[in-house]
């Protein structure tokens, strides 16, 4: 059935009208979500439903790549809640208390500054394949992601969906340190890397939020981002910080309100947080790369572009 549906769905858009282009994109999106969910289930992951609103969510601070203009807060039953910006805190709790390996397709709402409307890489509403693995570290996650994505590219090629860039299934993906990239390209290294690579590459040791593990002595961050040619960062993840003292210390350092993360802190203080690592894969960015789209909003049926509010 899959071969029948997609053998003629190679993405050459010249001459296609808008409706036909979107129809093909929906078909490709359906195939991508099916394959990814199948892979994760075969690997023993439990599929959980996403959290849309919560009293706690990713603060996205002090991540240097964040440009959040507004955090959506409102009241439910007399309590203030936020719309989910990322399920990282929830994933850590689920993996610590309930399941060894979990994943979800999580909608994220991040009101980016309007100047990002023309980057072709940013959306204010998007979906992540969020996953977490207990008793795992950075190398475990990076190895798993490479195996999954190389399998995806191989399966797509065999289905008749081909881009030359997918031939990276036969390559070793290189690893770069963010400090080295900054020394070479300056503080704008993130925007330059994707245009200078031919295969996916990993970038590690990126200063970020309190939940990313940071070595107290060396100061190195045990985290990782995956960059795709032309698209940029498609995955962000880390080994998680579970030490109560270190979490508190970094929260105070970064000006993060501890009262917003009471449950996480209680579990950490009681020694109930388990060693884990995970990541989130941007579905729209991955889909854009696979289909050769230059703007991630073109893979959405109803584009969500920073600074622009469409009717639908």
In the chain, what are the domains?
A: 2-299 (3.30.930.10)
223 neighbors 233 (Cβ within 8 angstroms): no
113-125 pLDDT tens trace = 999 999 999 999 9
Torsions phi, psi of 232, nearest 5? 95, -150
| Residue 162 confidence (pLDDT) | 82
In this predicted structure, the answer to whether residue 268 has a pLDDT above a threshold of 90 is yes
Question: H-type helices in 204-305, by residue range?
Answer: 244-254, 262-269, 283-291
Alpha carbon 7 to its chain's center: 29
* Burial bucket for residue 1 (CB in 10 Å: 0-12, 13-18, 19+): exposed
137-194 pLDDT tens trace = 999 999 999 999 999 999 999 988 888 888 888 888 999 999 999 999 998 898 899 9
* Burial bucket for residue 311 (CB in 10 Å: 0-12, 13-18, 19+): exposed
CA 108/CA 52 separation, integer angstroms: 8
In this predicted structure, the answer to whether residue 272 has a pLDDT above a threshold of 70 is yes
CA 209/CA 213 separation, integer angstroms: 9
pTM above 0.75, yes or no: yes
237-248 pLDDT tens trace = 999 999 999 999
Q: At what angle do helices 88-97 and 262-269 cross, to 10 degrees?
A: 40
53 neighbors 83 (Cβ within 8 angstroms): yes
80-101 pLDDT tens trace = 999 999 999 999 999 999 999 9
DSSP tag of 98:
T
Average pLDDT of the chain, as a whole number: 91
The share of the chain scoring above pLDDT 70, in percent, equals 95
181 neighbors 194 (Cβ within 8 angstroms): no
């Amino acid at each position: 059935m899959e071969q029948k549906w997609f053998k003629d769905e190679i993405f050459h858009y010249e001459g296609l009208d808008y409706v036909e282009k979107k129809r093909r994109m929906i078909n490709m999106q359906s195939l991508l979500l099916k394959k990814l969910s199948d892979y994760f289930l075969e690997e023993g992951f439990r599929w959980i439903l996403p959290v849309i609103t919560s009293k706690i969510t990713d603060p996205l601070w002090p991540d240097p790549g964040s440009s959040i203009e507004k955090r959506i807060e409102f009241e439910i039953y007399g309590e203030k809640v936020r719309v989910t910006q990322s399920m990282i805190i929830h994933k850590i709790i689920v993996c610590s208390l309930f399941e060894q390996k979990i994943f979800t397709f999580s909608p994220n709402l991040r009101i980016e500054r309007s100047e990002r409307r023309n980057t072709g890489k940013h959306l204010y509403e998007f979906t992540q394949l969020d996953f977490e693995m207990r008793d795992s570290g950075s190398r475990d996650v990076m190895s798993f992601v490479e195996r999954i994505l190389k399998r995806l590219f191989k399966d797509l090629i065999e289905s008749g969906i081909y881009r030359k860039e997918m031939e990276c299934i036969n390559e070793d993906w290189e690893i770069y340190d963010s400090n080295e990239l900054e020394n070479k390209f300056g503080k704008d290294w993130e925007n330059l890397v994707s245009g200078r690579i031919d295969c996916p590459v990993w970038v590690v040791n990126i200063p970020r939020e309190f939940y990313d593990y940071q070595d107290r002595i060396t100061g190195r961050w045990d985290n990782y981002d995956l960059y795709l040619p032309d698209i940029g960062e498609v995955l962000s993840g880390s080994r998680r910080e579970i030490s109560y003292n270190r979490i508190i210390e970094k929260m105070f350092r970064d000006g993060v309100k501890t009262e917003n993360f009471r449950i996480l802190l209680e579990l950490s203080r009681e020694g109930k947080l388990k060693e884990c690592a995970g990541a989130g894969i941007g579905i729209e960015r991955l889909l854009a790369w696979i289909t050769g789209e230059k703007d991630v909003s073109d893979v959405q049926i109803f584009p969500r572009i920073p600074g622009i509010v469409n009717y639908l």
